[in-house]
Amino acid sequence: MYENKFKPFHELHSFAEDDREKSPKVQEKVEDCRDFLQRAEGEIQALRENLKALEEEIALHKRQNQELLKEKETLLKEIEELKRKQEEQDTLVRIFDELFRRLEALKEGIKQDILNMSVDLVKKLLSLEALPKEEGLLKALSQALERGLVLGGSCDIHMNPEDKERLEDTIRELFQRAGVFSLNLIADKGLKRGEFILETPKLYVERKYEELLEDLLRSL
Protein backbone atom coordinates (compact mmCIF):
# COMPACT_ATOMS: atom_id res chain seq x y z
CA MET A 1 0.00 0.00 0.00
CA TYR A 2 2.71 2.38 0.97
CA GLU A 3 5.47 2.50 -1.39
CA ASN A 4 7.93 4.33 0.77
CA LYS A 5 9.24 2.96 4.04
CA PHE A 6 9.07 4.76 7.40
CA LYS A 7 11.70 7.38 7.74
CA PRO A 8 12.48 9.24 10.96
CA PHE A 9 12.43 12.95 10.91
CA HIS A 10 16.09 13.02 11.86
CA GLU A 11 18.80 10.68 11.11
CA LEU A 12 19.89 8.61 14.15
CA HIS A 13 23.48 9.11 13.55
CA SER A 14 22.99 12.84 13.81
CA PHE A 15 21.79 12.52 17.49
CA ALA A 16 24.76 10.43 18.40
CA GLU A 17 27.09 12.87 16.85
CA ASP A 18 25.44 15.78 18.65
CA ASP A 19 25.66 13.95 21.99
CA ARG A 20 29.30 13.27 21.45
CA GLU A 21 29.87 16.88 20.63
CA LYS A 22 27.92 18.12 23.66
CA SER A 23 29.12 15.56 26.25
CA PRO A 24 32.42 17.26 27.22
CA LYS A 25 30.65 20.54 27.85
CA VAL A 26 27.96 18.90 29.94
CA GLN A 27 30.57 17.02 31.88
CA GLU A 28 32.44 20.21 32.50
CA LYS A 29 29.31 21.92 33.76
CA VAL A 30 28.56 19.00 36.00
CA GLU A 31 32.04 19.20 37.46
CA ASP A 32 31.63 22.91 37.95
CA CYS A 33 28.36 22.33 39.75
CA ARG A 34 29.95 19.70 41.95
CA ASP A 35 32.81 22.03 42.80
CA PHE A 36 30.36 24.81 43.56
CA LEU A 37 28.29 22.54 45.75
CA GLN A 38 31.38 21.35 47.61
CA ARG A 39 32.53 24.90 48.15
CA ALA A 40 29.07 25.90 49.22
CA GLU A 41 28.92 23.00 51.66
CA GLY A 42 32.33 23.99 53.02
CA GLU A 43 31.26 27.58 53.41
CA ILE A 44 28.00 26.48 55.03
CA GLN A 45 29.94 24.27 57.42
CA ALA A 46 32.30 27.13 58.20
CA LEU A 47 29.33 29.43 58.76
CA ARG A 48 27.78 26.85 61.06
CA GLU A 49 30.99 26.61 63.02
CA ASN A 50 31.26 30.40 63.19
CA LEU A 51 27.63 30.61 64.24
CA LYS A 52 28.23 28.03 66.94
CA ALA A 53 31.29 29.94 68.13
CA LEU A 54 29.27 33.16 68.16
CA GLU A 55 26.48 31.49 70.11
CA GLU A 56 29.01 30.20 72.64
CA GLU A 57 30.59 33.65 72.86
CA ILE A 58 27.16 35.24 73.29
CA ALA A 59 26.33 32.74 76.02
CA LEU A 60 29.66 33.52 77.70
CA HIS A 61 28.97 37.26 77.52
CA LYS A 62 25.51 36.68 78.96
CA ARG A 63 27.01 34.78 81.89
CA GLN A 64 29.61 37.49 82.36
CA ASN A 65 26.92 40.16 82.20
CA GLN A 66 24.90 38.30 84.81
CA GLU A 67 27.97 38.09 87.05
CA LEU A 68 28.66 41.78 86.47
CA LEU A 69 25.07 42.61 87.34
CA LYS A 70 25.39 40.61 90.55
CA GLU A 71 28.66 42.39 91.37
CA LYS A 72 26.98 45.71 90.58
CA GLU A 73 24.10 44.91 92.92
CA THR A 74 26.56 43.86 95.61
CA LEU A 75 28.57 47.08 95.17
CA LEU A 76 25.40 49.18 95.26
CA LYS A 77 24.37 47.49 98.49
CA GLU A 78 27.83 48.07 99.96
CA ILE A 79 27.70 51.72 98.88
CA GLU A 80 24.28 52.13 100.48
CA GLU A 81 25.59 50.48 103.64
CA LEU A 82 28.61 52.79 103.66
CA LYS A 83 26.34 55.80 103.16
CA ARG A 84 24.15 54.65 106.02
CA LYS A 85 27.15 54.15 108.28
CA GLN A 86 28.55 57.54 107.26
CA GLU A 87 25.23 59.18 108.05
CA GLU A 88 25.17 57.42 111.41
CA GLN A 89 28.75 58.52 112.07
CA ASP A 90 27.95 62.11 111.10
CA THR A 91 24.93 62.01 113.39
CA LEU A 92 27.05 60.69 116.25
CA VAL A 93 29.67 63.38 115.64
CA ARG A 94 26.98 66.06 115.76
CA ILE A 95 25.57 64.55 118.94
CA PHE A 96 29.02 64.37 120.56
CA ASP A 97 29.79 67.95 119.52
CA GLU A 98 26.51 69.14 120.98
CA LEU A 99 27.10 67.16 124.18
CA PHE A 100 30.63 68.55 124.45
CA ARG A 101 29.34 72.08 123.93
CA ARG A 102 26.66 71.60 126.56
CA LEU A 103 29.15 70.02 128.97
CA GLU A 104 31.53 72.92 128.49
CA ALA A 105 28.70 75.36 129.09
CA LEU A 106 27.62 73.35 132.12
CA LYS A 107 31.21 73.24 133.34
CA GLU A 108 31.57 76.99 133.01
CA GLY A 109 28.23 77.44 134.71
CA ILE A 110 29.26 75.16 137.56
CA LYS A 111 32.58 76.96 137.93
CA GLN A 112 30.80 80.29 138.02
CA ASP A 113 28.25 78.92 140.47
CA ILE A 114 31.02 77.59 142.70
CA LEU A 115 32.82 80.92 142.53
CA ASN A 116 29.65 82.80 143.35
CA MET A 117 28.93 80.41 146.20
CA SER A 118 32.48 80.86 147.47
CA VAL A 119 32.16 84.62 147.35
CA ASP A 120 28.83 84.46 149.13
CA LEU A 121 30.28 82.07 151.69
CA VAL A 122 33.27 84.31 152.33
CA LYS A 123 31.01 87.30 152.67
CA LYS A 124 28.81 85.43 155.12
CA LEU A 125 31.82 84.23 157.05
CA LEU A 126 33.17 87.73 157.18
CA SER A 127 29.85 89.04 158.36
CA LEU A 128 29.72 86.29 160.98
CA GLU A 129 33.34 86.93 161.90
CA ALA A 130 34.18 83.29 161.39
CA LEU A 131 37.35 84.07 159.40
CA PRO A 132 40.70 84.85 161.03
CA LYS A 133 40.55 88.59 160.38
CA GLU A 134 43.03 89.24 163.16
CA GLU A 135 45.61 87.02 161.51
CA GLY A 136 44.97 88.72 158.18
CA LEU A 137 45.44 92.14 159.69
CA LEU A 138 48.65 91.16 161.49
CA LYS A 139 49.96 89.52 158.33
CA ALA A 140 49.30 92.63 156.25
CA LEU A 141 51.05 94.85 158.82
CA SER A 142 54.00 92.45 158.96
CA GLN A 143 54.31 92.58 155.16
CA ALA A 144 54.34 96.39 155.29
CA LEU A 145 57.18 96.26 157.81
CA GLU A 146 59.11 93.65 155.82
CA ARG A 147 58.91 95.79 152.68
CA GLY A 148 60.39 98.74 154.58
CA LEU A 149 57.28 100.81 154.17
CA VAL A 150 57.57 101.98 157.78
CA LEU A 151 61.07 103.15 158.69
CA GLY A 152 61.40 105.21 161.87
CA GLY A 153 59.35 108.26 162.67
CA SER A 154 55.76 108.24 163.80
CA CYS A 155 53.07 105.92 162.51
CA ASP A 156 49.28 106.11 162.83
CA ILE A 157 47.13 103.02 162.31
CA HIS A 158 43.35 103.36 161.95
CA MET A 159 41.44 100.14 162.59
CA ASN A 160 38.16 98.70 163.70
CA PRO A 161 37.57 99.32 167.42
CA GLU A 162 37.29 95.61 168.16
CA ASP A 163 40.54 94.88 166.35
CA LYS A 164 42.24 97.68 168.31
CA GLU A 165 41.04 96.30 171.59
CA ARG A 166 42.08 92.74 170.84
CA LEU A 167 45.35 93.37 168.96
CA GLU A 168 46.83 96.58 170.35
CA ASP A 169 49.51 94.92 172.48
CA THR A 170 50.48 92.52 169.73
CA ILE A 171 50.73 95.29 167.13
CA ARG A 172 52.84 97.53 169.39
CA GLU A 173 55.22 94.66 170.09
CA LEU A 174 55.42 93.90 166.35
CA PHE A 175 56.31 97.48 165.46
CA GLN A 176 58.78 97.85 168.33
CA ARG A 177 60.71 94.83 167.04
CA ALA A 178 60.82 96.60 163.68
CA GLY A 179 62.26 99.74 165.28
CA VAL A 180 59.07 101.82 165.26
CA PHE A 181 58.46 103.22 168.71
CA SER A 182 56.14 106.16 167.95
CA LEU A 183 52.94 104.28 167.16
CA ASN A 184 49.42 105.66 167.46
CA LEU A 185 46.51 103.19 167.19
CA ILE A 186 43.21 104.90 166.33
CA ALA A 187 39.81 103.21 166.63
CA ASP A 188 37.68 103.86 163.55
CA LYS A 189 34.12 102.58 163.47
CA GLY A 190 34.01 103.18 159.71
CA LEU A 191 36.44 100.28 159.18
CA LYS A 192 35.32 96.67 159.14
CA ARG A 193 37.11 93.90 160.98
CA GLY A 194 40.42 93.24 159.23
CA GLU A 195 40.57 96.66 157.54
CA PHE A 196 43.13 99.30 158.46
CA ILE A 197 44.73 102.53 157.29
CA LEU A 198 48.45 103.04 157.94
CA GLU A 199 49.81 106.59 157.81
CA THR A 200 53.32 107.97 158.16
CA PRO A 201 54.69 111.36 157.15
CA LYS A 202 55.73 109.82 153.82
CA LEU A 203 53.32 106.91 153.35
CA TYR A 204 49.65 106.06 153.18
CA VAL A 205 48.56 102.39 153.06
CA GLU A 206 44.93 101.36 153.06
CA ARG A 207 43.67 97.82 153.35
CA LYS A 208 39.96 97.59 152.61
CA TYR A 209 37.37 94.88 152.93
CA GLU A 210 37.54 94.04 149.18
CA GLU A 211 41.28 93.39 149.40
CA LEU A 212 40.77 91.07 152.33
CA LEU A 213 38.10 89.26 150.34
CA GLU A 214 40.41 88.90 147.32
CA ASP A 215 43.17 87.48 149.51
CA LEU A 216 40.78 84.98 150.98
CA LEU A 217 39.48 83.95 147.54
CA ARG A 218 43.01 83.47 146.22
CA SER A 219 43.74 81.18 149.14
CA LEU A 220 40.71 78.96 148.39
203 pLDDT more than 60: yes
pLDDT at 187 over 90: yes
Residue ranges covered by each domain of the chain: 25-131, 132-219
Ranked by mean pLDDT, which of 14-28, 136-150, 163-177 comes out on top? 163-177
pLDDT at 6 over 60: no
pLDDT digits (tens, 9 = 90+) for 42-77: 888 888 888 888 888 888 888 888 888 888 888 888
**Domain spanning 132-219 has what CATH number?**
3.30.2320.30
Compare 191 and 178 and report the one with higher pLDDT. Answer: 191
Most confident of 10-19, 140-149, 153-162: 153-162
What is the per-residue DSSP string for the chain? ---SPP--SS-HHHHHHHHHHHHHHHHHHHHHHHHHHHHHHHHHHHHHHHHHHHHHHHHHHHHHHHHHHHHHHHHHHHHHHHHHHHHHHHHHHHHHHHHHHHHHHHHHHHHHHHHHHHHHHHHHHHHHT-S-HHHHHHHHHHHHHHTT---SSEEEEEE-HHHHHHHHHHHHHHHHHTT--EEEEEE-TTSPTT-EEEEETTEEEEE-HHHHHHHHHHT-
Average the pLDDT over 190-218 and give the result.
76
pLDDT digits (tens, 9 = 90+) for 113-144: 776 776 666 565 555 444 456 777 788 788 77
Q: Give the pLDDT of residue 124.
A: 59
Confidence category of residue 81, pLDDT binned at 50, 70, 90: confident
How many residues can be counted in the chain?
A: 220
Claim: this prediction has a pTM higher than 0.85:
no
- 218 has pLDDT over 70: no
